[in-house]
């Protein structure tokens, strides 16, 4: 279950969220299972955030930092992750159907068992990415 104060902070907008992250108030935001469907999170600093089982359907995460984020089992169908940084992110069993991952950096990400049907992977860096089905 997500930490409600973290969800509330994120819903204040990306500028307020990123300022909060910069001041060091929270090293690992807990957004597990949060309903962030269709949220505007362009450029958000979600690095190291726990977003396991989160609903991010249709969210705009373009140019967001999701470095080492936990997204196991997250629903990202139809989300926009163009230019996002997902280095070392855990996306095991995530639903990435119809996701725009163009120009994203997935270096070292774990996509084991993830559903990538219809995903746009143009110019995506998949170096050292685990794509094993399991």
Could you tell me the CATH number of the domain that includes residue 10?
2.160.20.80
* 10-66 pLDDT, tens digit each: 999 999 999 999 998 788 999 999 999 999 999 999 999 999 999 999 999 999 999
How many distinct structural domains can be found in the chain?
1
Residues with Cβ within 8 Å of residue 3, at least 6 apart in sequence: 29, 30, 31
**Domain membership of residue 78 as a residue range:** 1-134
How far apart are the C-alpha atoms of 62 and 107, rounded to whole Å?
17
pLDDT at res. 112: 92
pTM (predicted TM-score): 0.92
Confidence of residue 125 (pLDDT cuts 50, 70, 90): confident
């Amino acid at each position: 279950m997500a930490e409600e104060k973290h969800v509330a902070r994120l819903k204040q907008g990306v500028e307020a969220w990123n300022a909060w992250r910069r001041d060091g108030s929270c090293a690992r935001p807990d957004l597990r299972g949060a309903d962030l469907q269709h949220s505007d999170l362009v450029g958000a600093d979600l690095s190291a955030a726990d977003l396991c089982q989160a609903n991010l359907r249709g969210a705009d995460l373009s140019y967001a930092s999701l470095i080492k984020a936990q997204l196991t089992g997250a629903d990202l169908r139809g989300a926009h992750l163009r230019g996002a940084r997902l280095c070392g992110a855990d996306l095991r069993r995530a639903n990435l159907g119809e996701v725009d991952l163009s120009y994203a950096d997935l270096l070292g990400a774990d996509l084991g068992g993830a559903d990538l049907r219809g995903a746009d992977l143009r110019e995506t860096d998949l170096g050292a990415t685990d794509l094993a089905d399991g």
